[in-house]
Structure 1
Amino acid sequence: MNFNYYVPVRILFGRGQLNNLHQQTLPGKKALIVISSGKSIRANGYLDQLEGQLDKAGVSYVVFDKVMPNPMLKHVTEGAALAKAEQCDFVIGFGGGSSIDSAKAIAVMATNDGNYWDYVGAGSGKGQPVKNQPLPIVAITTTAGTGTEADPWAVITKEDTNEKIGSGWDCTFPYLSIVDPELMVSIPPTLTAYQGFDALFHSTEGYLNTTANVMSDLFALKAIESIGANLDKAVADGKNLDARDNVALANTLSGIVESVSGCISEHSLEHALSAYHPNLPHGAGLIMISKAYYTFFAKSGSCDDRLVKMAQALGKTEASQPMDFVDALVDLQRRCHVDQLKMSDYGITREELPEIVKNARHTMGHLFHVDPAVLTDEDCLKIYQESYR
């Protein structure tokens, strides 16, 4: 019953909430809007909608639109330089997790010296303290995947060393977040599934984490339940707003889980895959390894009761054995048409898997310390090998 709870984010949740942005007390008068290099934010009229809200609020803005699906250090550096040059006094991350994560890192570097990797506390990062308060961050999510609107974390890849690492501080919690499911109806079915499973695994990992507590458990089980009952519906019909509402809620709850508990080594293993192969969507990588990963823990005897409760939350109400969770998980993947993903389709080879294991331990090895059972490098390699197609 011992826990720390600190999630200092004002969240506006619900359909049409972006239209209320101009009514909020915003943290500055000039914003750097951080979006992806893709076309969807503009093509769907979302950027125009945001700019209209800022115009109503009397806030000027400049757009930085180079963010990749797996955010890169070079773009953090470039975005921070633009924020300084334009004298922006806050940052808006607008889009999926990559845009919001990049906005957080840019906000840090807009007010601090050196390189962002100076402040990263894992891998080759120097782990220096963030001395100056970052620019305030407004997070407006158009996807339901990372929960980054409700946590302090930013996952950035240092492309020259293939290090994909999550970092965060109390000062990188968003000042304000908007979760508007109406912005999510244009997401294609496959990406809806990838993002939804990312949210799911934030909660399943947070629930199995040895730091899990009564508060994180509340949010995790509700998120798992909402995804189990609604993700396949959102995949089947992207305009089903009831399903979108519930998956978006699960995503935000999972972000709170990330703040109160945290990920375990499943995320380390996936980050290493997509660090070497940045064309691999994060959610897809998690799906690929998930059956073998959770089977390992189901057979370990370390968290039987929790796996059963997760299976029940996922919809297998009669669950009584740890492997029931794996069965429920695979069934949901089948219903969402993502149960046959292949690593080889993204250029991953069997021969490089041992090196990827080393990368997972080097970059985010701390997540292995909160696993419910010890995962050796041999176990990790076996998970990759069993997942390989």
Structure 2
Amino acid sequence: MNFNYQMPTKLLFGKGQLNNLHKEDLPGKKALIVVSSGKSVKKYGYLERLEKELEKANVQYVIFDKILPNPIKSHVMEGALLAREEKCDFVIGLGGGSSIDSAKSISVMATNEGDYWDYISGGTGKEKPVKNDPLKVIAITTTAGTGTEVDPWTVITNEDTNEKIGFGYEKTFPSIAVVDPELMLSVPKKLTAYQGFDALFHSTEGYLNKTANTMSDIYALKAIELIGKSLKKAVLNGNDIEARSDIALANTLSGFVESTSGCTSEHSIEHALSAYHQDLTHGAGLIMISGAYYTFIAKSGKCDDRMVEMAKALGKKDAKESMDFVKALLELQRDCEVNDLKMSDFNIDKDNLGKYVKNARETMGGLFLVDPIEINDEAVLNILKESYR
């Protein structure tokens, strides 16, 4: 019963909420809209809907549409330069976690000098303090995976050094978040599953984390429950708006978990994989290592009560031991048809798994410090070996 709690983001949640954005007190008069290099936000009309909302609010805008699925530092710098040149006074991230994360990072560099990596802690980052407040950010999520719309965190890859590192502080919380399940109906089957498991692991990691507290526990268990109840439905029938709404809420709750507790080394390990293999979707990478990762924790015998509670929340109501969570997890992966993912399909180097172990420790080693048990380099290597197919 000893924790700090800050949740400064105003949340607009529910079907059709994007249509209400123009009614809000927006943080400026000219926005940089950050979207991915893909076509979905344009194809399905989400960008056009946002543009109409801004026009109703008498807000001008400029579009930056280069963001990759694993966003990179050079695009952060390019977007920040555009924001300055166009005199944008706030940033909107429209899309999945990559677009919203990039919007946050761009907002920092739009008001600060130097290179983005100057402010990063870990790896080759220089860990300088952020001198000037970032621009305000509005986050409009079209996916249900990262919860980044309600947390301060942003994950960017330095493509020159193969370092994928998280960053954030109290001033990188979005000022407004729009979570509208209507915008998620177009997400393909596989991506729905990948994103849903990402949200799940934000909550399971947050629940096992040494920093877990009363507030994060409440959010985590409810998110796990919603995912156990509705992820399979959303994957198998993408037009099921009730299931989409459940997973959207689970995603947002997982963002609350990230703001009150945090990730463990499962994320460090996956970031190392996708730092080298940028075509690896983050959620897919997490799925591939999750069975071995949670089995290692379960077999330690040091998290039995919490593992059982997670198993019950995920739907295994008769759970009595830690491995029941692993069983429930693997069953959900089978139900969502993502149990056949192979590291070899992403050209992950089986003969040099040690480089990923080293990268995980050097870039995001801080997450190992909040693991509920010690997970040393030998254990990480074994987790990767057991996960490899």
TM-score (norm 2): 1.00
| 2:139 match: secondary structure | strand
Structure 1 segment 149-228 matched on structure 2, within 5 A: 149-228=149-228
Runs of 5+ unmatched residues, structure 1: none
Matched, 1:130 2:130: yes
Q: Could you give the per-residue CA deviations for residues 334-385 of structure 1, whole angstroms, max 9, x where no partner exists? A: 0000011000101112112111100000000000000011011010000000
1:99 aligns with 2:99: yes
Aligned AA (2:127)? G
Provide structure 2 residue ranges, at least 5 long, that are not aligned to the other structure: none
Distance apart, 1:69 and its partner CA:
0.2
Matched, 1:381 2:364: no
Report SS of the residue matched to 2:146.
Answer: coil
Cross-structure match for 1:109 = 109
Amino acid at match of 1:372: P
Q: Within 5 Å, which residues of 2 pair with 1:1-389?
A: 1-389=1-389
CA shift for structure 1 position 222? 0.1
- Separation in 1 of the partners of 2:122 and 2:13? 33
Distance in 2 between residues matched to 1:135 and 1:230, nearest whole Å: 36
Structure 1 letter corresponding to 2:170: D
SS in 1 for 2:315: coil
1:7 Cα deviation (Å)? 1.2
C-alpha distance in 2 between matches for 1:211 and 1:161: 30
Deviation digits for residues 307-351 of structure 1 (CA, Å, limit 9, x no counterpart): 000000000000000000000000000000001100010111211
The C-alpha deviation readout for 1:267-287, integer Å capped at 9, x for no partner, is 000000000000000000000
Give me the whole-angstrom Cα distance separating, in 2, the residues matched to 1:68 and 1:192: 18
- CA–CA separation in structure 2 for the residues paired with 1:130 and 1:16: 36
What one-letter code is carried by the residue in structure 2 that aligns with 1:228?
A: G
Letter in 2 for 1:161: T
Q: Percent identity?
A: 68
Aligned residues: 389
Give the Cα separation in 2 of the matches to 1:370 and 1:159.
Answer: 27
Q: Which whole-Å CA distance do the structure 2 matches of 1:349 and 1:193 have between them?
A: 25
TM-align CA RMSD:
0.4
Runs of 4+ in 1 over 2 A off after TM superposition: none
Distance (whole Å) between structure 2 residues aligned to residue 236 and residue 184 of structure 1:
14
Amino acid at match of 2:233: K
Equivalent position SS for 2:211:
coil
Distance (Å, rounded) in 2 between the aligned partners of 1:253 and 1:122: 27
In 2: Cα distance, 1:151 partner to 1:124 partner: 24
Structure 1: how far apart are the matches of 2:262 and 2:274?
Answer: 20
CA distance in 2, matches of 1:205, 1:252: 15
* SS of residue in 2 equivalent to 1:91: strand
Q: Which amino acid aligns with 1:292?
A: A
Structure 1 position 301, deviation (Å): 1.1
Tell me the SS of whatever aligns to 2:309.
helix
Residue 327 of structure 2 aligns to a residue whose secondary structure is: helix
**Which residue type is aligned with residue 368 of structure 1?**
F
SS across alignment from 2:353: helix
Q: Distance in 2 between matches of 1:177 and 1:352?
A: 41
Q: Which SS does the other structure have where 2:318 is aligned?
A: coil
2:26 partner letter? L
What is the alpha-carbon distance in structure 1 between the residues aligned to residue 195 and residue 352 of structure 2? 26
Q: Distance in 1 between matches of 2:259 and 2:189?
A: 28
Q: What SS is found at the alignment partner of 1:26?
A: coil
